[in-house]
Structure formats: structure tokens, C-alpha cells
Chain A
Amino acid sequence: MSFLLSLAFKNLSRYRRRTMITAGALAVGLIFFIFMDGWLQGAERESERNIIWYESGSAKVMTSEYLDDLKTMPLKHAIENPDAVEQVLEGTGVTTTRRTVFAGEIFYGEGSLYVKVVAVDPQTDGKIYRLSETVAEGRYLEPDEQGVVLGEWLAQDLGIQVGEEITIRTRTRYGAFQTFDLIVVGVLNSPNPMINKGTAFIPLSLADELLEMEGAVTELTLYFPEWQNPESKIQSLQDRLSVLPGLTVESWKDLARDFLMIAQAKSAGSGILLVLVFIIAAVGISNTMLMAVYERVREIGMMRAMGMKDGAIRTTFLFEAGGIGLIGAVIGVGLGVVINWLMVTRGIDMTALMGQMDIGYRVTGIFYAAWHPQAIVGGFVFGVIAAMLFSIIPSSRALKMEITDCLRYE
């Protein structure tokens, strides 16, 4: 066996150019695969983060009735005793903040607009949401002030500037109409278009008073580090909360189902891309490999003529192919990881491409990739195995031929 190994190794170094070209085909295929996959992963991660950071946190606690009617945002189904909920959740490693979300109509100048108003607690909101980092003009909310922060598109639609006054009309928890005047203290431009389009933020204490909430809030946003796979965490939180009937924990995945469907549609689209990359790379690998072995049928004939056993020849070629696969996969994964690392840490700056474009919300112009270990390891293993498999076809074909035919083969 060790003889066969060293023979295979000798062959590899003897045919240096062939080895390098075949391994090169494999390496290039892998590099592109890792690059593409990392990029698509990065794009997906980024949109997920935009949901977590600006819209939903990791999960939310709401009453079941509120959840059923999420679209109409009924204040009457609020959480009566948020303190109790926070007490129950203490010690679970979960960060919480309170919010009251309701529908309102903003009046400014000649007209009016229906918006989603989110009352936040400026002191704790920043622990989960990153809205304060996205202030484009003015400043973020301060506790208890009579102020409002608007999304940028909303501000533009209303034609309103920081420092001006708007009126919001809504219904209180008991259904009575309530109007209040607020000063616009800031304008947000976040990477999440939903925030820019139709959301206004006010301090929670103000909403509490104006909407007759008496301490109740419509939701508690939770944040926990394991948000990417929230299922088990949600289950344990739900179990704990069962002491407070009527409450339910909903993960960001369920809350953002619409978005995730888009993401799925997108990944169906990008899946096509990956499949195509894979096909091209696989054809490149298989063809060079097939060619590398077919070119050596004469050599196989010679070895057989000299009395080498079929099995031994097959093993040698398998080792050789494995060696080529290994070289290619190491180079490919190595370079792929380096490129991916650059794309994760530095990103690809596409400002030059995007510079002139106004798509309405903040695009940094720099795209970041993400790590996707499964794809990297999978690519490596696939590369080595594919190289070995593709060598079997031509070598066993040559072994079936008459020795004399092998020797005469061109």
C-alpha cells in the first residue's frame, strides 16, 4: 500500500503541469462557490439584522388577542402588568423593553396620513433597538418630552422639518378620540424601509398618559443572543410565562413572516445562481479530471503489461485523484476563506456603483459577506470526493481494454 501511495505521489510531482491545471480547475470552482455563497449569506444576514435591530427584536411578548389582530393594533388588548412579566423573565438572560404600538393619523398642513405610532421607552429601548444610531437630522427622543421622531420618507411626504409641530389623532384605549400636538425633534433614516415609510416614535410615558393606558403596554420586546435559532428559547420562555395566562411569546421569525417569505423568494432566486455556479464548477472539475486520466491510457497499458494488478492500478489512480483533489481543495478553500474573510471584515465597496442612486433608504454602499461553515466544509469534501469519483470512470475503462489496445491508444 505504501508503495502505491508513493507511486501516486511520484506521479503527481512528475506530471506537475497536469496536476496544477486539474487542481487549479477545482480550486477556482471552490473559490467561486465560497465567494458567491458567502455573499448571498451576508445579504440575507443583513436583512435579518435590519428586522431585529429596527422592527422586532428577538421576540415579543403580547396578549394572544393582540397577536390575532396585529394589523389593527387594538389597544384594548394590552398587557396589563408588564412589571409582572419582567419579573417572571428575570434571570433568563433576556433583555426587555416596553413598547405601545397604535394606529394614528398625523395632521400637518392641508392633509393627513395614517401611520403606525410606536411609543418607546427612551431609557431602555436602546438596549435592543438601534434607532438612535440612525438619526439623520435633529436628535433622538428624550424621556417624557412632548416630541416625536419620524421616518425620513414620512417626513418628506408630509413636507415637515425638524422643530415644526404636528398633530396626531388616535383613539384611546377606551375608544375615545384623542388629539395631541408634538414637536418633531428628529428624523430617522434607517436601513429598514418600513421604519422610514410610515412610523412615528413618541416617548412611552406620554403615550401612557394620553391613551389612558395606566401602565399597560401592548408589547414587550425581548432580546437574546441566540436569536438565529430562537425556537427552543421561545419554548422555555413560553413555559415560564404560563403563570400569566393570556400572554404569548412570538419570535421575530413569526412576526416577520412576510419578510421571510421575501427572503425565501430571494433565496430561490439566488439558489438558481448557486446551482449554476455549482454546475459550471463541477463540469470544469470533471472534464479536466477525465481528460487527465484518459491521456494516460497508454501508461496504464504499460503498467499492466509489466504485471501490475488491476486493483493496484485502480488504487494508484484513486490516490492520485485524491491528491489532486486535496491540493485543489486546500488551495480553493484557503483562497476562498481569505477572500471571504476580506469580504466579512472589509466588505466590498460598491459606492461607486450605487453613488448616484437614490433608492430612498440608507444603503451604505458596502456589502458584507457572512461565514457559512457548512458550505466551506461541504465544498472541501465535495471537491476531494468529486475528483476521486471522476477518475474512476476513465481508469476502469482502460482496465477493461486489451493490454495491446491500451498501449496503442491515443
Chain B
Amino acid sequence: MAHRLVEHVGEIELALDAESEAGLFAEAAQAFAGLVDGSEASGPGPVQVGVSLAARERPLLLVEWLSELVFLAEVEGFVPARVAAVELDGGRLRAALEGVLGRPRHLVKAVTLHGLELEREGEVWRGRVVFDV
């Protein structure tokens, strides 16, 4: 699994590779955590967060997943450290996250649909998403 930030003049574009679709969602969470790094834990130890989401198609489910992380970071100060589990079933996602309550350094405002991609190429799942920052 891997991710990289693609050059974009105004925003942040994220490219993702993974061996499975669930792995790609996990990698997206790790990439998001990297964007909000520098957070200092302000709570007592790691916290667990469960997420359950639905969307009418898988690429939109990726947007919903990252949008949920944006919300948790902004409202709760939650920064994911580890994705314990991701289950995809049709248009539904269930996930378990571990992380810390801290001070996200550089909050993503939103997750756009611009250039949104999620597809399988041979044995590799590839995704692309642009954040508004």
C-alpha cells in the first residue's frame, strides 16, 4: 500500500495504491493522518472510534470516508493512528479506528469530487481524490 501527494497549485491531491479495496480505504486514512500530523495528544492514551457509512457508489464511499475523518478531526480533535478494520459491503463501509485526541495541525476543509477515481487495475486498486485545504 502507498500514497503520494500530487502537485496541485491550490489544493492537495492524493494518489493511492493498494492490493485490496479495503486496503485502499485504510491507506487513505493513513494519508489523512499524515496531513494532520504535528498533533499533540491531549487525552489519556489511544481512543477507539467506530465508523459506519453508506454511499450509492464506491468512489463516493471513499469521499464519505475521508469526509468523516475531516469531521472527526475538526469537531473531536481525533487523529487516526491505526485502522484496525475496514469492511466493505455493497455501498456500505464499517471501520474501526484507533487514534488520539489532539490538535490537528492543518485541517482539510473538505473532500471534493474533482478528478475522483477508485478502480482496479489488474492486481492493484488505485484511487485519487482532491482535498480542499
Is chain B found bound to chain A in the same assembly?
no
